[in-house]
Amino acid sequence: MMQESSKKILVIEDDTITRNLFLEGLEAEGFSSIGAENGTVGIQQAQEHIPDLVICDIGMPDMDGYGVLSVLRQDPVTAIIPFIFLTGSGSMADLRRGMDLGADDYLTKPSTVENLLRAIAARLEKQSTLVDYWYAACCRQFSETPSESSVSTDPESMFPTHPQLKQVFDFIEANFDQGITLCNVAEAVGYSPAYLTNRVAKQTGDTVNGWIVKRRMLAARSLLQDTNRTIEQIATALGYQNACHFSRQFRQHNGMPPQTWRKEHQLVRNSRIEVLK
């Protein structure tokens, strides 16, 4: 089935025949496919192209799939990308290790293109549902909040109400603008990064880094709409090391660059002010 909008799928597989088979099958179904012959190249491709989903073999010579997943989950830009493992083993120990690191699904090799497409469709549908839910929640918050000129907001209106995760979300709320990552949160609450990733994902449907990014995006939209700070100043205020990183992540979550978003929403805001006058 052809895709209405071309989704980017990254295939990390050291076996050339298998990799090309999957890439050709994905292209035939309307996906935009990207290939990587090893883990190191795969990480580079993921960071450069920000794919909608990653398919990765576990057993590779330079860096195995576990290493790839660990690196991607540490980067807020790639942390929320759905990740499917390809494995020739299928043992419970391998499955558990991958799930603890934050893998979304498994396919046992040899796998057909049909099985691959079904797994991709299931993951993309779930991801879309989560994004729609979060976007609707954020829109409600923006429409119901009297003033959004401050970076800080009530964490209870942003984060899900899970008593077991209150310490996690309180730490994110207090430090989201300090460039924190999963490891910082895990250390603060006394859990290993892998355990915390699994726990938060099971209870909220998203990763720790995913929630950090969502909190930053909420603050970013407020600053873009209600202040005259430059993109560079906003990026720095939210803990980003450079404006390019911030702009790329903002575009991924909001569908447009921050400059474009600002123009559209400041225009709407100014129009409302004129009407009130």
Query: What domains lie within the chain, and their CATH numbers?
Result: 8-124 (3.40.50.2300), 145-276 (1.10.10.60)
pLDDT tens over the chain, length 277 residues: 444 447 899 999 999 999 999 999 999 999 999 999 999 999 999 988 889 999 999 989 889 999 999 898 887 778 878 899 988 766 677 777 777 777 888 888 878 888 889 889 888 887 666 555 555 555 554 444 433 333 434 445 678 888 889 899 999 999 999 989 888 999 999 988 878 887 888 888 888 988 999 999 999 999 998 899 999 999 999 999 889 889 988 988 888 899 999 988 765 555 444 444 4
- Tell me the pairing of strands 8-12 and 53-57: parallel
Q: Where are the alpha helices (DSSP H) in 37-112?
A: 39-49, 65-74, 92-101
Residue 8 CA to residue 108 CA, distance in Å, equals: 22
Q: Are 112 and 92 within 8 A, CB to CB?
A: no
